[in-house]
A = this chain, B = another copy of it.
Amino acid sequence: MAVMFRPHHKNFTWQDVEKLAYKDAGDAPFKDVTRQVLFSGADLKSELRYFEVAPNGYTTLERHEHVHAVMILRGAGHCLLGSDVRAVKAYDLIAVPPLTWHQLRAGSEEPLGFLCMVDAARDKPQLPDEQDLKALNADPLVAAFLKG
């Protein structure tokens, strides 16, 4: 069991929680995202992570079998979910169903921070190929979102 009390310091950093690179692989496109693992361990079937996207940054456009359970914690931005584009703000809830393309983009003013709960045992994200991108960009709203 990890340390039991970990106070919030400031600006969404915590005692004994390391700020990590968002992705290990260098080939998944994203911009200005950090990752902090808040809860993870053998005694939990899931993990709770905090991600923060700097102004104008974005997470990787991806899909996977496992589900993402997201709560926005700070800032504002937009989220792509399948062919839906929505404005998101603090405390909004987003459920990403299996194999649904998704991406979060911060606005230009402030960082977009969010919690994401996932099963500890999960499949690897898939990236869109040229055909997937063509299909996504066929929708003008989605195309505008992806353009940023």
Contact = CB atoms under 8 A, between A and B. Distances in A.
Interface residues of A, number: 44
Nearest to A100: B4
B12 A69 contact: no
A116 to B, nearest CB: 10
Contact of A69 (B7, B39, B67, B96): B39
B97 A6 contact: no
A142 interface: no
Assembly stoichiometry (copies)? 2
The secondary structure that dominates the A interface is strand
A134 to B, nearest CB: 24
A12 B45 CA distance: 26
A117 B67 contact: no
Given A14-B91, A91-B8, A92-B8, A43 B3 contact: no
